[in-house]
Homo-oligomer: A and B are copies of this chain.
Amino acid sequence: MVIILKENPDPNQLENLLSWIKEQHVTPHITHGLHQTILGLVGDTAKIDIELLGQMEIVEAVRRVQEPFKNANRKFHPLDTIINVNGSKIGGNSMTVIAGPCSVESEEQIITVARSVKESGAKLLRGGAFKPRTSPYAFQGLRDEGIRLLLEAKKDTGLPIVTEIMDLSQLELFADVDVIQVGARNMQNFELLKQLGHSDKPILLKRGLANTYQELLMSAEYIMAFGNDNVILCERGVRTFETYTRNTQDISAIPALKTLSHLPVIIDPSHAAGVARFVPPLSLAAVAAGADGLIIEVHNNPACAKCDGMQSLTMPEFRILMKKIKVMTDARELCSSITE
Contact = CB atoms under 8 A, between A and B. Distances in A.
A34 interface: yes
Contacts of A284: 288-289, 332, 335
A169 B166 contact: no
A281 to B, nearest CB: 4
Contacts of A173: none
Interface string A26-66: 00010111111010111100110101101111001101011
Report how many copies the assembly holds: 4
A324 B309 contact: no
Interface stretch (A88-96, A107-115, A248-256): A248-256
Please tell me the size bucket of the interface on A.
35 or more
B34 A40 contact: no
Contact of A55 (B52, B273, B305): B305
A46 B4 CA distance: 17
Interface stretch (A78-86, A120-128, A133-141, A155-163): A133-141
A38 B55 contact: no
B277 A221 contact: no
A243 interface: yes
A306 interface: yes
A38 B147 CA distance: 40
A36 B51 CA distance: 22
Given A4-B65, A278-B255, A52 B135 contact: no
A19 interface: no
Contact of A191 (B169, B288, B334): B169
Contact of A166 (B191, B211, B289, B340): B191
A142 interface: no
B51 A308 contact: yes
Contacts of A15: none
Interface of A: 2, 4, 29, 31-36, 38, 40-43, 46-47, 49, 51-52, 54-57, 60-61, 63, 65-66, 68, 130, 132-140, 166-170, 185-186, 188-192, 194, 209-215, 218, 221-222, 225-226, 238-245, 248-252, 254-256, 259-260, 272-273, 277-278, 281-282, 284-290, 302-303, 305-310, 312, 316, 320, 323-324, 327-328, 330-332, 334-335, 338-340
